[in-house]
Copies of this chain bind each other. A is one copy, B any other.
Amino acid sequence: MSGGQEDSRQTTGRIVVIGLGPGSPEQITPQAMRYVAEGEEFFGYFPYLDRLDLRADQKRIASDNREELDRASAALTRAALGKNVCVISGGDPGVFAMAAAICEAIEAGPKEWRALDLVVVPGVTAMLAVAARIGAPLGHDFCALSLSDNLKPWEVIEARLAAAASAGFVIALYNPISKARPWQLGRAFEHLRTILPASTPVIFGRAAGRPDERIEITTLGQAVAERADMATCVIIGSAETRLIEREGKQPLVYSPRFYASESK
């Protein structure tokens, strides 16, 4: 590929949706770094873009948290003009993040968006990073649930919480709380206390792998929503989840590979 007339037909744009992992540069995959190096324009929520060390020739288009669909359309528009566009997510882009917004925009958008090269680059999602810091709370069947009722009714969320807890899934809560959604996490704990034992381990995992990391273990009986913020992933054990006390160290929390009624 060089200059001259070939130039004009060549560039079908590309849109790459990249997961940067939970926050530590050591947890970004080489694949993500390669696509970042190749990118021309970068769309994303500003704190995620802040994690990149872009070159002067790479363009940064930061936007706010709640503007996923507008951001997706803007990025696709640029890709359709032949640009090599990167859309940046924290964690994994396929888990409550930009990959679904891009697909949604493609489905609703002009036909030519379907012809674009779409690449999704997976990353370490928050619940995996939090779990790793504490043992293996996701060691057996688990679910990931967004607690945001911006895009789904609260009754659906409560029904899913009840179904997951009753069936024995460990529950990882994404988007547990925000200024606009202050009561939902407390309500979720209340609801779960009617289903699971008060001794069920609960983990507040904030900013796993980052300098401001804070990982706290408590029980469902004692869990209070105020311990979480927007950067927290909350993991609620199942009735099988166990705690191992360790002298001078944080306890380990794990969900066994076997079902308790079976012999060990």
Residues of chain A touching chain B, judged by Cβ–Cβ distance below 8 Å, are: 21-22, 24-31, 34, 68, 92-97, 99-104, 106-108, 114-115, 118, 120-125, 128-129, 131-133, 135-146, 151-153, 156, 159-160, 163-164, 166-169, 242, 244-249, 252, 254-259, 261-262, 264
Contact = CB atoms under 8 A, between A and B. Distances in A.
Contacts of A166: 163
Contacts of A258: 151-152
Contacts of A145: 141
Given A103-B254, A151-B259, A167 B164 contact: yes
Contact of A144 (B29, B92, B141): B141
A246 B141 contact: no
Contacts of A249: 114-115
A31 B28 CA distance: 9
12 contacts: A24-B31, A25-B30, A27-B31, A93-B132, A94-B128, A97-B139, A99-B135, A107-B252, A115-B247, A123-B124, A143-B164, A163-B166
B133 A100 contact: no
Contact of A252 (B28, B118, B151, B245): B118
Contact of A27 (B26, B29, B95, B104): B29
Given A27-B31, A30-B26, A143-B164, A257 B132 contact: no
Given A94-B139, A151-B259, 11 more contacts: A24-B31, A25-B30, A27-B29, A94-B138, A99-B254, A100-B136, A100-B255, A122-B124, A124-B124, A143-B144, A159-B167
Most chain B beta-carbon neighbours within 10 Å: one of A26, A95, A102, A103: A103
Contact of A128 (B95, B164, B252): B95
Nearest to A208: B122
Contacts of A129: 122
A222 to B, nearest CB: 22
Contact of A163 (B68, B142, B146, B167): B167
